[in-house]
Amino acid sequence: MSRESDESLTSRRFYRARSLSALATALQGARSTRGLTQDELARTIGSSRPTISRMERAKPASTDTLLDALAVCEYELVVVPRGAVVTVTT
């Protein structure tokens, strides 16, 4: 089992999302890491809990809402070529 798959959602430093489903999982993990409920995250970004729920279930939502939610969770979306080697430092 890889080191990445051993890490709990609350200890992940980064997510690699190659699908909408993986992006949804990343958002849910980022929110959990910050200790926020769906309601709290929604209020912070001026959205609704159902919108956060839809995003976390890989349903359509606006890109700006997704980016706002990730920013509040102290994550950002980085687009790189598929197969690229990425180093994450903090």
pTM above the 0.75 mark?
yes
Are the beta carbons of 52 and 36 closer than 8 angstroms? no
Give the per-residue pLDDT at 8: 45
Report helix, strand or coil for 8.
coil
- Quick one: what percent of the chain has pLDDT higher than 90? 69
Report helix, strand or coil for 15.
coil
Q: What is the pLDDT of residues 23-58, one digit of tens each?
A: 999 999 999 999 999 999 999 999 999 999 999 999
The mean pLDDT of the chain is 87
Report domain extents, the chain.
3-72
Give the per-residue pLDDT at 90: 73
For domain 3-72, give the fold.
434 Repressor (Amino-terminal Domain) (1.10.260)
Give the per-residue pLDDT at 29: 94
Distances in whole angstroms, Cα of residue 63 to Cα of each of 2, 29, 66:
31, 18, 5
Give the per-residue pLDDT at 14: 85
